[in-house]
C-alpha cells in the first residue's frame, strides 16, 4: 500500500495508506468510477462486481444443508410444527439473541405454533442456558428447546437437559471447543468440524437462525405441509436479521451484507410494529440506515438486558399490540438513558486504571455494573488501539468480564484457551468479542496469560496499523453529491468499512468543544469555501489538542467520513474526523 500525500506519521502517529485493491486486481485493471474502486478494495472481484453493487439474498444464500446438523435441526422443528408441540426459544440477552429468538417465534407463529421465548436475567442467571432453567421449561410443557446465540459452550446445562430427556437444538455462532456439548442438533458455522459451512463463520446468530428457518420451510414443503396453507414469507423477517447482524458487529461481507441491504428495505416498510415503535422512540426520521441499527436501535434493545428486564427486547419484537409496542419502546428508551449514566461512571473509573505498558488491557473493579462492561471495553479498545477486557467483580469475589479485540487478534480463541488452563470459571466468544466468568483472585494470572499469548499478535497488528484512505477531495468536495456517491457502495460496517476521504488542505476558522468531549470545527480551503467538521470524543486526545491549538497560519489535511449534515438549513455535508496531518 502506497503512502497518501507522503504522510508516514499523522497527528495520531499513524501512516496514511491507500486502501489496497484485491490481489487479483493489481494486473493493470483501473476502476473507471469511485464505486467500483470502493467495491474492489473491499474484497469484490471483477466477476462479482454486480453482485456486490446490489447485494441480494439470492446471490449470496448458501444451501442450508451444507452446515452440520442443519437438516437434523430442521427435521426436529418440522416434527414439532406438525405435532403442534410446545417449543421454547432460549435466547441470549443482547440484540443478536433477541432478534434470533424473535425471528423463530414469529416464523413458528406463522406455522401455527406459539413458541415461548425465554431470555435469562443477566445479573441473576448469567449468560447462556443453565440446567435448572432448561428443566423448568420442560416441566412447564416444552418438549423442544431451541437455544439461539448461546449453547455452544453449555456442557453442564445440556448434559442435565439430556439426562432429563429434553430435546435441545443449539443455534449459535460463537467459538466452539474441540468437544461439543450433547444436543439433538448443534448448528454453528464455527464448529471445528464444520466443512463447507465454515466459510460462513462471520454470520451472527440471527443469520444462522434465518438459514434454519429456510431449511425448516423446505422440509415442511417436501412433507406437503403447505398443501392447505400458504408458506410464510421468510424474507419479511430480514429486518430482524439486519438489526441483529449490525448490532453484533458481524462482518458485513457476503451474505451478511445482503442481509443488511435487504433487511433495511424491509425495515423501511415498518412491518414489525415493535421495530416501528422503537424507531419512533429513537426519534429517527426517514428510513433507517445501517448506522441507526448500531447506534440508535441496537443500544435501546440492549438496555433491557443490561440494566432492565432482559425479555423486553423479544417482547417488543414479537408483540401484536401497537400500544404494548409503544410502551415497551418508551421503557427501553428510558433504560438506555439510565445505561448511559452507569456506563459513564464505570468508564471514568476504568480510564483511571489504564496501564500503558500492557498489550492486552485487563481492568477489573469491584461494584461495577456488569451490564455496561462490554461497552466500556469497546471504548477502551478504540482509545488504545489494543484489545481490552473489563471485569465487574461482585460482593462474592466473582468477576463477570467482557472483552473487545482488534483486527488480527483472536480474543475468543484466547479466552477458550484460558478456560482450558483452569483460569476461568466460564468463557467464550468470537475473534472480536468475548465474555467470561472468573474468580477475582485469578485476574492477575489471567492477565499474564493473555499477555504471554497475545502480545506478539498485538505487536504485529500495531505494526501493520495504518489509516486507510479511499479518495482525496478539496474541502468544497465534501458535499451531498459525494456522500450519495459513496453510499452506493454500502451498506458499510465491520469488514466492509465506510469510505474514508481526505479533505484539504484547510485552515481552521472556528474550533470549540461541544457535548461529551467532541471537537467541532469550521474549516476552509484555499478558495475560502468552508465546511463543518467534528472529531467525536477527541477533546482529551492528541487529535483534539492539535485542532484546538492549531495556529491560524498552519494548514492541515483532515481524514474522515463524509456525512450529511442533518442540522443544516440547506443540503450540506460535514466531515467526521478520524485523524489529521499538518500540510505545511
Is the per-residue pLDDT at 28 higher than 70?
no
Q: Of 360, 313, 368, whose CA–CA distance to 335 is shortest?
A: 313
Element (DSSP H or E) covering residue 117 = strand 116-118
Q: What is the mean pLDDT of residues 29-55?
A: 86
328-376 residue pLDDT tens: 999 999 999 999 999 999 999 999 999 888 999 999 999 999 889 999 9
* SS3 category, 194: coil
Task: Please report the beta strands in 331-457, taking only residues with DSSP state E, as ranges in sequence order.
Answer: 361-366, 388-393, 398-404, 426-430, 433-439
Task: Please report the beta strands in 423-464, taking only residues with DSSP state E, as ranges in sequence order.
Answer: 426-430, 433-439
Q: Of 521, 543, 518, whose CA–CA distance to 530 is shortest?
A: 521
443-500 residue pLDDT tens: 999 999 999 999 999 998 887 788 999 999 999 999 999 999 999 999 999 889 999 9
Secondary-structure breakdown of the chain: helix, strand, coil percentages, each rounded to the nearest 5: 45, 20, 35
Q: Which residue has the cell 449514566?
A: 341
Q: What is the mean pLDDT of residues 541-561?
A: 93
285-296 residue pLDDT tens: 889 999 999 999
How far apart CA 500 and CA 519 sit, in angstroms, is 19
Say if residues 165 and 159 touch (Cβ distance below 8 Å). no
Label residue 441 by pLDDT band (50, 70, 90): very high
pTM of the entire predicted model: 0.89
Helices (H), 187-297: 205-222, 238-247, 255-268, 273-281, 290-292
Is the per-residue pLDDT at 22 higher than 60?
no
Instruction: Please report the pLDDT score of residue 477 as a whole number.
Output: 95
User: What percentage of the chain reaches a pLDDT higher than 70?
Assistant: 98
175-201 residue pLDDT tens: 888 899 999 999 999 999 999 999 999
Amino acid at each position: 500500500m502506497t503512502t497518501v500525500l507522503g504522510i508516514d506519521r499523522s497527528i495520531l502517529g499513524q501512516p496514511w495508506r491507500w486502501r489496497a485493491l484485491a490481489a487479483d486486481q493489481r494486473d493493470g485493471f483501473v476502476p473507471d468510477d469511485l464505486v467500483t474502486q470502493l467495491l474492489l478494495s473491499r474484497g469484490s472481484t471483477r466477476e462479482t462486481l454486480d453482485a456486490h453493487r446490489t447485494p441480494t439474498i439470492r446471490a449470496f444464500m448458501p444451501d442450508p444443508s451444507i452446515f452440520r446438523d442443519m437438516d437434523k435441526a430442521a427435521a426436529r422443528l418440522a416434527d414439532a410444527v406438525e405435532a403442534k408441540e410446545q417449543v421454547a426459544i432460549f435466547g441470549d440477552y443482547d440484540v443478536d439473541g433477541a432478534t434470533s429468538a424473535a425471528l423463530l417465534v414469529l416464523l413458528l407463529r406463522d406455522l401455527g405454533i406459539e413458541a415461548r421465548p425465554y431470555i435469562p436475567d443477566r445479573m441473576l442467571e448469567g449468560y447462556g442456558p443453565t440446567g435448572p432453567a432448561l428443566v423448568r421449561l420442560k416441566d412447564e410443557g416444552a418438549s423442544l428447546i431451541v437455544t439461539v446465540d448461546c449453547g455452544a459452550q453449555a456442557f453442564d446445562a445440556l448434559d442435565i437437559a439430556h439426562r432429563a430427556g429434553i430435546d435441545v437444538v443449539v443455534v449459535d455462532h460463537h467459538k466452539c471447543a474441540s468437544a461439543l456439548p450433547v444436543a439433538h442438533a448443534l448448528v454453528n458455522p464455527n464448529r471445528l468440524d464444520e466443512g463447507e459451512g465454515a466459510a460462513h463463520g462471520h454470520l451472527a446468530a440471527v443469520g444462522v437462525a434465518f438459514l434454519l428457518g429456510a431449511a425448516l420451510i423446505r422440509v415442511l414443503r417436501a412433507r406437503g405441509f403447505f398443501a392447505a396453507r400458504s408458506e410464510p414469507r421468510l424474507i419479511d423477517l430480514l429486518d430482524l436479521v439486519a438489526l441483529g447482524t449490525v448490532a453484533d458487529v458481524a462482518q458485513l461481507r457476503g451474505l451478511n451484507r445482503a442481509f443488511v441491504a435487504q433487511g433495511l428495505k424491509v425495515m423501511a416498510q415498518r412491518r414489525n410494529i415493535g421495530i416501528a415503535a422503537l424507531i419512533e422512540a429513537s426519534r429517527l426520521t426517514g428510513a433507517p440506515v445501517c448506522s441507526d441499527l448500531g447506534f440508535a436501535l441496537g443500544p435501546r434493545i440492549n438496555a433491557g438486558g443490561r440494566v432492565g428486564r432482559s425479555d423486553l427486547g423479544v417482547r417488543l419484537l414479537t408483540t401484536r399490540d401497537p400500544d404494548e409496542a409503544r410502551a415497551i419502546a418508551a421503557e427501553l428508551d428510558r433504560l438506555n438513558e439510565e445505561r448511559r449514566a452507569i456506563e459513564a461512571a464505570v468508564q471514568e473509573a476504568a480510564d483511571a486504571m489504564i496501564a500503558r505498558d500492557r498489550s492486552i488491557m485487563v481492568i477489573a473493579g469491584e461494584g461495577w455494573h456488569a451490564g455496561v462492561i462490554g461497552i466500556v471495553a469497546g471504548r477502551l479498545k478504540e482509545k488504545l488501539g489494543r484489545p481490552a477486557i473489563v471485569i465487574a467483580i461482585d460482593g462474592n469475589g466473582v468477576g463477570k468480564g467482557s472483552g473487545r479485540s482488534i483486527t488480527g487478534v483472536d480474543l475468543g480463541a484466547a479466552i477458550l484457551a484460558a478456560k482450558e488452563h483452569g483460569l476461568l470459571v466460564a468463557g467464550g466468544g468470537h475473534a472480536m468479542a468475548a465474555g467470561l466468568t472468573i474468580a477475582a483472585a485469578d485476574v492477575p494470572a489471567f492477565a499474564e496469560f493473555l499477555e504471554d499469548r497475545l502480545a506478539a499478535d498485538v505487536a504485529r497488528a500495531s505494526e501493520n496499523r495504518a489509516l486507510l484512505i479511499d479518495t482525496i477531495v478539496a474541502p468544497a468536495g465534501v458535499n451531498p453529491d459525494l456522500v450519495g456517491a459513496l453510499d452506493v457502495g454500502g451498506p458499510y460496517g465491520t469488514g466492509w468499512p465506510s469510505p474514508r476521504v481526505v479533505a484539504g488542505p484547510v485552515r481552521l476558522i472556528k474550533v470549540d468543544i461541544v457535548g461529551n468531549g467532541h471537537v467541532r470545527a469550521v474549516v476552509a480551503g484555499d478558495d475560502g469555501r468552508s465546511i463543518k467538521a467534528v472529531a467525536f470524543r477527541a477533546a482529551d486526545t492528541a487529535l483534539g489538542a492539535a485542532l484546538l491549538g492549531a495556529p491560524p497560519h498552519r494548514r492541515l489535511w483532515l481524514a474522515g467520513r463524509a456525512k450529511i449534515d442533518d442540522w443544516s438549513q440547506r443540503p450540506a455535508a460535514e466531515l467526521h474526523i478520524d485523524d489529521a496531518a499538518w500540510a505545511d
